[in-house]
Amino acid sequence: MTLGRRLKKVRVKRGYSQGDVAEFLNISRQSISRWETDNGYPDIDNLVELSKHYEISTDELLTGEMPQQQEVEGKYKKINGLLFSQNDESWILLILSFLSLTIVPFGLASSPLIIWRNKKENQFHKLILLASIISIFYNIYAVYLWVTISLDIGSVTTIG
């Protein structure tokens, strides 16, 4: 697609007339018409102003493609310089999986749910899975010990 066609497409999409854009740029409507019919091209200053007015990047205006950085920012959010997926529950699941190690009955119920919620796209997918599996085994062992001590199973009493 040519620059002129992109300029017209974006202008129409935004709901502006050629006169509106010409007035915004302080140029003639015929200049806008020439640009949109590929009989002329805007200078750099006008191109930058058009991108601001149309609320798109100059790259997108020139090439018709969204820049890679904007694609990344659409899928990820940046926190303290680190990129995190918008759907990433890694930190929450990781904290819950380690908490389920410390709170014994909680771990038996929460670890399977954590494994179920954990996705391969999560930042700490494998670590969450490992911590949850360890938590399940630890909780089973802790409950076993609690039951054997409570019921006094396995101790030998001598009568004497």
* Position 100 in a domain: yes
Q: Residues 6-33: what's their mean pLDDT?
A: 91
Q: What percent of the chain has pLDDT over 90?
A: 23
Q: CB of 4 within 8 A of CB of 37?
A: yes
Residue where a domain stops, chosen among 50, 66, 82: 66
Quick check: is 103 in a domain? yes
**Residue 82 belongs to a domain:** no
Do 62 and 95 lie in one domain? The reply is: no
Report percent pLDDT > 70 for the chain. 82
Q: Distance between CA atoms of 55 and 11, rounded to whole angstroms?
A: 11
| Tokens representing residue 133 in the block | 């599996």
The predicted structure's pLDDT at residue 138: 93
61 and 95 in a single domain? The answer is no
pLDDT band for position 137 (cuts 50, 70, 90): very high
Q: Which residues pair with 84 in a beta bridge?
A: 77
Residues paired with residue 76 on neighbouring β-strands, in sequence order: 85
| Same domain (yes/no): 44, 98 | no
Provide the pLDDT confidence category of residue 63 given band limits of 50, 70 and 90. confident
Which three-class secondary structure string do you get for the chain?
CCHHHHHHHHHHHHCCCHHHHHHHHCCCHHHHHHHHCCCCCCCHHHHHHHHHHHCCCHHHHHHCCCCHHHHHHHHEEEECCEEEECCCCHHHHHHHHHHHHHCHHHHHHHHHHHHHHCCCCCCCHHHHHHHHHHHHHHHHHHHHHHHHHHCCCCCCCCCC
Q: Are 40 and 6 in contact (CB under 8 A)?
A: no
Most confident option among 22-26, 51-55, 102-106, 117-121: 22-26
Domains held by the chain: number: 2
Position 56 in a domain: yes
Q: The whole model's pTM is what?
A: 0.44
Residue 132: domain span: 90-150
Give the pLDDT confidence score for residue 72 in this predicted structure. Answer: 47
**Dihedral sign from CA coordinates of 46, 48, 51, 53:** negative
Work out the pLDDT band at 59, boundaries 50, 70, 90: confident
- Residue 23's pLDDT is 92
